[in-house]
Amino acid sequence: MPVKTVKGTRDIFYPDIEKWKFFEEKAREILKTYNFKEIITPIFEYTEVFARGIGEDTDIVHKEMYTFKDRKGRSITLRPENTASVVRAYLEHKMYAEGGIKRLFYIGPMFRYERPQKGRYRQFFQLGVEVFGSKNPFIDAETIELVINILEKVGLKGLSVNINSLGCEKCRPVYRENLQKFLKGIKEKLCEDCKRRIDTNPLRVLDCKVPSCKEALKDAPNIQQSLCEDCKEHQAKVFHYLETMGVKYEVEPNLVRGLDYYTRTVFEVVSDNLGSQNAILGGGRYDNLVKEFGGPDTPAFGWALGIDRLVLLLEDKNFDFANKTIYIVPAGNSIDYCFQTAKILRENGLASEVMADSKSLKKALNSVNKQRGRFVLIAGESEREKGIVIFKDMENKTQREIKLENIAKELKDEIDK
């Protein structure tokens, strides 16, 4: 094999692409009903956008980015996520100047240099939303309800919503310090990674999966009990709205996200059927990021969903992609007549394929069978002379003649039946 896909990347095509499109169309439809507008940002940005946006000390920035120099020596990075880009765009185009709440969504490929495994690729696709300009807890709840709605509409089950609060710039530093103090006390019981994290990112220790660490953390200070009054009230309202919206959730005090910009609400949706890469989507509130980018103080909320993982869950669903293509079969020297027929169908929005290479009627029908085709038009020499085609329904094993001028109307009726 002389050339092949780069490690961690893959081609997505029929029939898998059908699930992909199904999800995308459904999601777009629903997003529209919540008044979200699409934004397409560049696949690559100056490295600084991600370094500042995601946080210099995160694993993503530290060791997972595709970074390279362009021909003028500028440092460029393939986007590892899209929130930083959208924030950059929000500021670059001064969207805040319009006032009100801005609701944006994006869909497209992201890139991270990681060892591939089930549900994890180096090029993967995300659908995400960002809401700018409101610190109202209703936004947290409604934006979570939006994605739960999407998941339900595409028929996913067996998912759970975990939620937590990371506090704000007032109460988080206090908690962080208390946690650090606690961690130093049990340092000897922690794994090597966690020992390092005590200084770099103590909250991440809470999320460690090493059993001995979990055990040692049993009596760790709980962030839920360290929240300030404002954060407590915010969270209580988020919970209240979620309940009135009918969204079920679990409070998970150890839920910490891997990106530095989150404040207050963080959440994720996990599946039991994805192996170890079980997070299908995650997100939360980031009230300080826009300001840190040098913009006006603008609260925001967002989430990102892994489409590759979602499609993996769609695998077992029974998709009924009926083949509605009309296969037009020549007989004798009648390819011109076939094309003439196809043209009429296509002008009327019907899909058709001229079986130009078939060497006999028998082979053509055989070939249609293999493609799971149902509708056939035989447009041979004798049909041309009579100005008709023979319509054949392979499933019902019936056939009849149709005048050429009536085919669009009659076939539409047949297909809609």
Partner RNA sequence: GUGAGCGUAGCUCAAUCGGAUAGAGCACCAGACUGUGGCUCUGGGGGUUGGGGGUUCAAUUCCCCUCGCUCACCCCA
Work out whether 278 is an interface residue with RNA (CB under 7 A).
yes
Residues 257, 195, 177, 217: what is their CA dihedral angle, to the nearest 10 degrees?
70
Asked if residues 226 and 203 have their Cβ atoms less than 8 Å apart, the reply is no
Q: Which is nearer to RNA, 194 or 290 (CB)?
A: 194
Q: Which is nearer to RNA, 115 or 218 (CB)?
A: 115
Measured from the Cβ of residue 33, the count of other Cβ atoms closer than 10 Å reads 9
Q: And the tokens for 311? A: 């499609």
**Binder of RNA out of 50, 90, 105, 121 (CB under 7 A):** 121
**How many chain residues touch RNA (CB under 7 A)?**
66
Work out whether 280 is an interface residue with RNA (CB under 7 A).
yes
**Binder of RNA out of 177, 193, 336, 410 (CB under 7 A):** 193
Work out whether 302 is an interface residue with RNA (CB under 7 A).
no
Q: Which is nearer to RNA, 180 or 347 (CB)?
A: 180
Work out whether 366 is an interface residue with RNA (CB under 7 A).
yes
Q: Which is nearer to RNA, 6 or 97 (CB)?
A: 6
Contacting range for RNA; rule: CB under 7 A; set: 29-37, 347-355, 360-368, 408-416? 360-368
Q: Which residues pair with 378 in a beta bridge?
A: 329, 390
Judged by CB under 7 A, the chain residues 94 through 113 that form the site for RNA are: 112
Taking the C-alpha atoms of residue 109 and residue 152, their distance in angstroms, rounded to an integer, is 23
In order of 211, 251, 346, the CA distances from 365 in angstroms are 61, 59, 21
Work out whether 304 is an interface residue with RNA (CB under 7 A).
yes
x/- binding map, residues 132-171, to RNA, per CB under 7 A?
----------------------------------------
Amino acid occupying residue 147 = V
**Binder of RNA out of 397, 413, 416, 417 (CB under 7 A):** 397
Task: Tell me which residue has tokens 């950059």.
Answer: 88
Q: Which residues pair with 117 in a beta bridge?
A: 120
Q: Min. distance of Cβ 254 from RNA in angstroms? A: 12
Q: Min. distance of Cβ 379 from RNA in angstroms? A: 8
Task: Tell me which residue has tokens 């609260």.
Answer: 299
Asked if residues 142 and 241 have their Cβ atoms less than 8 Å apart, the reply is yes
Q: H-helix or E-strand containing 197? A: helix 192-200
Q: What are phi and psi of 310, to 5 degrees?
A: -65, -45
Work out whether 218 is an interface residue with RNA (CB under 7 A).
no
Contacting range for RNA; rule: CB under 7 A; set: 11-19, 137-145, 343-351, 389-397? 389-397
Q: Where are the alpha helices (DSSP H) in 136-191?
A: 137-153, 171-185
Q: Which is nearer to RNA, 93 or 196 (CB)?
A: 196
Asked if residues 74 and 106 have their Cβ atoms less than 8 Å apart, the reply is no
Work out whether 327 is an interface residue with RNA (CB under 7 A).
no
Contacting range for RNA; rule: CB under 7 A; set: 15-23, 160-168, 221-229, 362-370? 362-370
**Binder of RNA out of 31, 49, 60, 129 (CB under 7 A):** 60
Question: What angle do the packed helices 16-33 and 307-314 form, to 10 degrees?
Answer: 110
Nearest to 43 by CA among 89, 129, 90, 109: 109
x/- binding map, residues 23-52, to RNA, per CB under 7 A?
------------------------------
With 0-12 / 13-18 / 19 or more C-beta atoms within 10 angstroms meaning exposed / middle / buried, residue 277 is middle
∠348-352-354 over CA atoms, to 5°?
130
Q: Min. distance of Cβ 59 from RNA in angstroms? A: 4
**Binder of RNA out of 21, 32, 93, 118 (CB under 7 A):** 118
Amino acid occupying residue 168 = C
Asked if residues 375 and 327 have their Cβ atoms less than 8 Å apart, the reply is yes
Q: Min. distance of Cβ 392 from RNA in angstroms? A: 6
Judged by CB under 7 A, the chain residues 6 through 25 that form the site for RNA are: 7-8
Q: H-helix or E-strand containing 107? A: strand 102-111
Work out whether 72 is an interface residue with RNA (CB under 7 A).
no
Q: Min. distance of Cβ 162 from RNA in angstroms? A: 11
Task: Give the neighbor-by-neighbor strand order of the sheet with 398-403.
Answer: 352-354, 326-329, 375-378, 388-393, 398-403
| Binding residues vs RNA (CB under 7 A) | 1, 5, 7-8, 58-60, 64, 81, 112, 114-121, 124, 126, 193, 204, 207-210, 257-259, 268, 275-282, 304-306, 308-309, 331-332, 359-363, 365-367, 369-370, 378, 380-383, 390, 392, 394-395, 397, 399
